[in-house]
Structure 1
Amino acid sequence: MAQRNLLPFILLGLIEQSPKTGYDLKKEFETEIGEFWSVKHSQIYSELKRLVASEQIVSETGYFGNKIEKTYYKITNKGKETLETWKYSYDKQLVVNKDEFVLKLYFIKDKNDPRLKDLLNEQLLLHKNKLNHLNERMKKLFSDTKEIDDNYGHYLILDHAIRRENEYASWLEEAIGFLAK
């Protein structure tokens, strides 16, 4: 089954928060959204054109406080309706996780395969680095309960990511320990 294109909804949600430029949106994917969703820079601009064409957002180009011409995107009522409909729809299927590391493991048949130890150790390093990053983000963004209350969904996503990375790192450490026996 083909996966649904969720990029328009992400862009509508980000633009609904405040008018943004394509560059602003790209930065969101490099920081907050990038913790759980990735997209290519070119996809953002293609989707913005489609959203303008479908009248879900409007664009305004001009000089805003500096000498650089910028194009800001704002959500329309039609865009708000689309976003609200999506927010209250529920998917009845789990999304398949495409994980190249897991795919490589699938094709390793022998626990003595020389690639296995390096593969597991490299993944452990990556997941521990990711865990450290997520913990730093949690401290920076949610150091008190008011910040949690003001953006509870984001807090839950970050908490979930930290738990996921903890579990993944523990599983890798266990697998590495099993190889040592």
Structure 2
Amino acid sequence: MAQKNLLPLILLGLLRDTKKTGYELKKDFETEIGEFWSVQHSQIYLELKRLTELKEISSTKGFFGSKIEKTYYEITPLGEERFEKWEKSFQNELAVNKDEFVLKLYFIKDKKDGRLQQLIKNQYDLHLEKLAHLNLRMKEVFSKIDKEQNYGHYLILNHAIKREEEYTKWLSDSLENINK
């Protein structure tokens, strides 16, 4: 089944509250959205162009507070309508998780395979690092704003923390089992 292109909807959602430059949108992906969605920098600008052509966003160029010309994007009523329609819709299937690590595990047949321990240890280290990052983000973000005012964001971050805690436990248990 073909994957839906959700990038335009993400951009519309990010532009709902305030005008933003392409750079600011890129930063949103690096700091917030990137916890659960990834995108290439170049894709953002291509999609901004498409959304402008569809008249779902508009852009304003000018010198805003500095001597550098910037382009600010903002959502239009047409974009707002599209976003609200999507926001009220429901998925009728689960997303497929494409995970190269899990795929590699699938093809390892023997518990004594020399690659197994290092493969799992590498993932364990990566997930521990991600867990530390998520805990730091939770502390940084929700020490500045009330979680009740941005509850969806809080739920996503909390979910990511719980997922990483469970994943690192599974990896740790797996390493222990291999060493028995």
Q: Is TM > 0.5 for Structure 1 vs Structure 2?
A: yes
Residue-pair matches, total: 180
1:160 maps onto 2:159 in alignment: yes
Shift of 1:29: 0.5
Shift of 1:15: 0.8
What letter matches 2:80 in structure 1?
K
Matches within 5 A, 1:106-145: 106-143=106-143
CA RMSD of superposed structures (Å):
1.0
Which runs of 5 or more structure 1 residues have no equivalent in the other structure? none
For residues 140-176 of structure 1, give each alpha carbon's deviation from its aligned partner in whole angstroms, at most 9, with x where no partner exists: 11238x6111100000000000000000000000100
What letter matches 1:66 in structure 2?
S
Q: Distance in 1 between matches of 2:168 and 2:58?
A: 44
Secondary structure (helix, strand or coil) at the match of 2:55 reads coil
1:14 maps onto 2:14 in alignment: yes
Aligned to 1:76: 76
Shift of 1:42: 0.7
Relative to the length of structure 1, the TM-score reads 0.97
Relative to the length of structure 2, the TM-score reads 0.98
**Deviant stretches of 4+, over 4 Å:** none
Shift of 1:105: 0.6
Q: Distance in 1 between matches of 2:105 and 2:97?
A: 14
Aligned to 1:29: 29
What letter matches 1:177 in structure 2?
E
Aligned to 1:172: 171
1:43 maps onto 2:34 in alignment: no
Q: Distance in 1 between matches of 2:163 and 2:7?
A: 24
Matches within 5 A, 1:144-155: 147-155=146-154
What letter matches 1:86 in structure 2?
W
Secondary structure (helix, strand or coil) at the match of 1:153 reads helix
Which runs of 5 or more structure 2 residues have no equivalent in the other structure? none
